[in-house]
Amino acid sequence: MAAAPALKHWRTTLERVEKFVSPLYFTDCNLRGRLFGASCPVAVLSSFLTPERLPYQEAVQRDFRPAQVGDSFGPTWWTCWFRVELTIPEAWVGQEVHLCWESDGEGLVWRDGEPVQGLTKEGEKTSYVLTDRLGERDPRRFKRFSCLSFPSSRDYSLTLYVEVACNGLLGAGKGSMIAAPDPEKMFQLSRAELAVFHRDVHMLLVDLELLLGIAKGLGKDNQRSFQALYTANQMVNVCDPDQPETFPVAQALASRFFGQHGGESQHTIHATGHCHIDTAWLWPFKETVRKCARSWVTALQLMERNPEFIFACSQAQQLEWVKSRYPGLYSRLQEFACRGQFVPVGGTWVEMDGNLPSGEAMVRQFLQGQNFFLQEFGKMCSEFWLPDTFGYSAQLPQIMHGCGIRRFLSQKLSWNLVNSFPHHTFFWEGLDGSRVLVHFPPGDSYGMQGSVEEVLKTVANNRDKGRANHSAFLFGFGDGGGGPTQTMLDRLKRLSNTDGLPRVQLSSPRQLFSALESDSEQLCTWVGELFLELHNGTYTTHAQIKKGNRECERILHDVELLSSLALARSAQFLYPAAQLQHLWRLLLLNQFHDVVTGSCIQMVAEEAMCHYEDIRSHGNTLLSAAAAALCAGEPGPEGLLIVNTLPWKRTEVMALPKPGGAHSLALVTVPSMGYAPVPPPTSLQPLLPQQPVFVVQETDGSVTLDNGIIRVKLDPTGRLTSLVLVASGREAIAEGAVGNQFVLFDDVPLYWDAWDVMDYHLETRKPVLGQAGTLAVGTEGGLRGSAWFLLQISPNSRLSQEVVLDVGCPYVRFHTEVHWHEAHKFLKVEFPARVRSSQATYEIQFGHLQRPTHYNTSWDWARFEVWAHRWMDLSEHGFGLALLNDCKYGASVRGSILSLSLLRAPKAPDATADTGRHEFTYALMPHKAPSPAPATSWSAFSVSSPAVLLETVKQAESSPQRRSLVLRLYEAHGSHVDCWLHLSLPVQEAILCDLLERPDPAGHLTLRDSRLKLTFSPFQVLSLLLVLQPPPH
Ligand SMILES: [Zn+2]
């Protein structure tokens, strides 16, 4: 007879159920204590240690020595291979048997030469299912036993290998997660045994935990909450942990509760398995390859057991690694992709930083990524996937559009420190007006675990209630955690349609976005950049990586241009397509969101520098080969030709090599994307329409440089006291102020050292003051004038700078060398301008945008440190001052002060970041126009409008007979423009195409007198396919 109904106390009832499922309390008699049954040790355990990451075939040949549970192994970054010989007791016939394995470090189980599952304690992967049901009547030793079948012998013996990496899920930080790695860390094996697993107990535990979650999550004001709690309580009443025959009654109570459905209006949660794997971060690139294998093989195993389970996987580079290192695993991934369970997403080569890469580099992320996905999985991605990055350029919508993508998933803006972003589902309109549909999972995470709390948060937190009734829910442990678990799936499946909760379905990103699109009329639109109000130190940290990035983007641009021109003009020239693809992929890899940003450990920074070195050395070899082929037979009088790879005509002073290794200066003029011979030395003077540079040092030590265009005055310590645009007499430096003022700040963030510079650093500003009399004249004038000085920044750090003015040049350059040995300091240089404007302009990918120079609102103030590419500008009507740079990204304009961020000195995760010698150049240009437009010879291409820039010239990816070029141009002023593109190459056909180089069927252009007419809207990017005529013979 059932007991009579009793009055129940909320808290005691709740805690009673909690104790029944607790892994800590009452495990002698509660349900959790019955999860595992009988156990026995493995028969033989042996191991060996290696500093290398060996392939399986090589590892199993090594000399394994006896090992036991409790052994420690290491140090950090080594690998311990275990051979596990096991025999399952015959008495366990009919039971589910697990290998229970707990060790520090990330493990991978190998069976019959193939990886089968990851084992990572931090990712709740501590057991490997040997068999679902141990067989009784199987004849012989089994050959392959997949986790679903059972052994085919009465001798249930098997040998497995477990490859354990000596690093945790998040590396090996000494003392804290982001501290520099401890190279001496040791790891331990704490459990290796066989045990019987009770699946029915597991399912009851899942139900009881969900019911507890509902009771707590919905709270005492909610009727459904009490129903959940009382159901759980009744389950405890009927369930005797020692008598499995009581379980079905308890199970039935749960099923009745979960089978009570919600109404039609319920929110739908689309749960997608995921595992965000940082391509390198607190561990080296090579470890990421193994992290991918461990995580994806675990996901595959779940797909086999749960045919409805869908797993989204981004980053072509990681797939390419697994393809070459784990071919067996890779072909199974492809199989599951065909079934629609393994879903490649994102379309990019890696999940890149969203701020620093150039426009062209962003295009290449998609070009390399989408082509890889098409080739390997039969289709391109339709969603851009960037859950974790440190801001999003306003040009991304246009770039996505051009790459066949209209949907974007991310979530990082939930990290905003100051302002809460007002949407989770919205349209994002980019710089040119392109729109994409964006979804941020409202649970503000990409590593959910399927709990009721997370499900309820997803609904409650949604900022677009009433506008969007669908949400994404990305579940699984990221990085080394190995992705989702069976428990997460069991939870989510149980919650599919229960009254009081949102509906939960296992969906692909495509299904989620289709649902959002079909009901998108009420969605709001956000215009312009998605600025992350955090991590703004990443624009500056690791200056050498930033410099490598800028320089290598330029090198690859130049190699492609010159190789394209050589291809067009020479029948013999072979375009180095394969080498260029390799170098581009290295550059794109370094643009991963923890590498180019400088938020990685020292080991990764060193690997990144090697990648840049490869690009520099191979790139320069390719450049020489292309230049030689292009200019064959046309040497100048001194055997020299000067090539201009920029799309406008340039007249500049150049240092030309002289015999014996010396250099001489010459003024040279080279047309747009073309070349010209070096003028003979005697003809130099007549070529000078401009005034030569005058250099005067006054008795007080100050120096004036004047080229008739601008006049620069430096005080005796090298600071800029005056900068005059000569023609108008306009002074660019604010009255009573000095420019080129170095300033030092204390730079101690709250936690994320390499990542964050906090607003309060501005309160610690200290100008660095030099010694009078240190300024000296360098080059004495004529073609070039310069002055130089030394500056002691601190007892440990010093700087030297040469201030250079060339003939005819509208800007003054500051060549800077710094020996930097600081801790938690930030060096910037400031230029107070005699300009007043509420907006400053910053160059971004394929264009520029404005940001406020004031702190009116919290949104303005949160942008106290911003990013820019090659220039920033502060202009009022008719006059402005631009600050240019060759390798910097951090900047700000507050009031009238332009400030360029130069060097930081964070200590985590790389304690050596930025210590050492640095070289960089910035330049200052006063100008009249409202925006600082980039200002027998031969020119390949030129554009009739200064508003339109020809950014890229390259061979088309798939080019018949390899004789098609792709040109990419963009409108840079923010205006509607018609212009003419002049071509000197033998072109037979011109067609508009998208960023993936797919021709626009209506995009045929008429070629008239070697000219093409092009029409642009503001900041529009256009790509053209040019089919070249057959080569001359
Ligand atoms: Zn990440």
Element (H, E) at 685: none
Contacts of 516 (CB under 8 A, 6+ apart): 425, 437, 439, 468, 470
Residues 6+ apart with CB under 8 A from 1001: none
Q: Which residues pair with 576 in a beta bridge?
A: none
User: Looking at the DSSP assignment, which residues form a beta bridge with residue 989?
Assistant: 1027
- Per-residue pLDDT tens for 218-236? 999 999 999 999 999 999 9
pLDDT of residue 156: 86
- Distance (Å) from CA 88 to ligand 1 centroid: 41
| Ligand 1 centroid – CA 81 distance (Å) | 28
What is the rounded CA–CA span in Å between residue 296 and residue 484? 10
Per-residue confidence (pLDDT) for residue 772, from 0 to 100: 82
- In sequence order, the β-bridge partners of residue 407 are 383, 437
**Structure-block tokens of residue 871:** 């220039």
Identify the bridge partners of residue 606 per DSSP, sorted by sequence position: none
If you write DSSP's letter for every residue of 84-153 in order, what string do you get? EEEE--GGGTTSEEEEEEEESSEEEEEETTEEEEEEBGGGTB-EEEEESS--SS--S--S---TTS---S
Q: Alpha-carbon distance 420 to 424, whole Å?
A: 11
* Ranges of residues in the chain whose predicted pLDDT is under 50: 137-153, 684, 686, 932-935
Q: E strand or H helix at 833, and its extent? A: none
Q: How far is the CA of 355 from the centre of ligand 1 (A)?
A: 15
The CA distance from 559 to 565, in Å, is 10
- Please name the residues in contact with 949: beta carbons below 8 A apart, sequence gap of 6 or more: 647, 934, 943, 969, 970, 972
Angle, CA 984 vertex, CA 978 and CA 990 arms, to 5°: 55
Tell me what pLDDT residue 682 has.
54
CB 714 within 8 A of CB 721: yes
Question: Which residues are CB-contacts of 59 (< 8 A; sequence separation ≥ 6)?
Answer: 50, 81, 161, 163
Closest to 604 (Cα-Cα) out of 956, 171, 954, 142: 171
DSSP secondary-structure letter at 573?
P
* Cα 593 to ligand 1 centre (Å): 6
Residues with catalytic annotation? 388
Please state, as a whole number, how many other Cβ atoms lie within 10 Å of the Cβ of residue 258: 21
Q: Residue 686 has which token pair?
A: 């007549």
The CA 389 to ligand 1 mean position distance, Å, reads 7
DSSP 468: -
DSSP calls for 36-88: EEEEEE-SEEEEEEESS---HHHHTTS--EE--TT-EE--TT-EEEEEEEEE-
Distance from the alpha carbon of residue 276 to the mean position of ligand 1, in angstroms: 7
CB atoms within 10 A of CB 11: 7
Answer whether 341's CB lies under 8 Å from 309's CB: yes
**What angle do the packed helices 285-305 and 486-494 form, to 10 degrees?**
50
Instruction: Convert the pLDDT of each residue in 32-83 to its tens digit.
Output: 999 999 999 999 999 999 999 999 999 999 999 999 999 999 999 999 999 9
pLDDT of residue 1032: 63
Task: Identify the residue whose tokens are 């200066």.
Answer: 665
Query: Tokens in use for 175?
Result: 């003392």
Pairing label, strands 784-792, 776-782: antiparallel
Distance CA 524, CA 995 (A): 27
What lies within 8 Å, CB to CB, of 717 at 6+ separation is 769, 770, 771, 772, 774, 775, 789, 791
Q: Amino acid identity of 207? A: D
Q: How far apart are CA 783 and CA 690, in angstroms?
A: 10
The tokens describing 416, both together, are 């905003």
Number of DSSP helices (H) and strands (E) in the chain, helices first = 17, 54
Cis peptide, bond prior to residue 509, ω within 30 of zero: no
278 Cα: distance to centroid of ligand 1 (angstroms):
5
How many other CB atoms are found less than 10 A from the CB of residue 159? Answer: 14
Distance 385 CA to ligand 1 centre (A): 12
Q: What φ, ψ does residue 527 adopt, rounded to 5°? A: -110, 135
Q: Within 13 Å and on the Cβ side, how many CA atoms surround 633?
A: 3
Alpha-carbon span 321 to 744, nearest angstrom = 43
Mapping DSSP to helix (H, G, I), strand (E, B) and coil, where does residue 1028 land?
Answer: strand
Residue 541 CA to ligand 1 center (angstroms) comes to: 17
- Go through the chain and tell me how many residues it has: 1033
- DSSP bridge partners of 161: 83, 110
Query: H helices of 779-907, where?
Result: 858-861
Separation of CA 314 and ligand 1 centre (Å)? 12
3 state SS of 784: strand
Place of tokens 């050959």: 143
Alpha helices by DSSP H, 593-716:
602-630
Q: What DSSP letter does each residue of 260-303 carry, written as one string?
A: S---TT--EEEEEEE----SSSSS-HHHHHHHHHHHHHHHHHHH
Distance 594 CA to ligand 1 centre (A): 7
C-alpha 189 – ligand 1 centre gap (Å) = 29
Burial of 907 (0-12, 13-18, 19+ CB in 10 A): middle
CB 192 within 8 A of CB 117: no
Strands 470-475 and 268-274: parallel
Paired tokens of 295: 């995580």
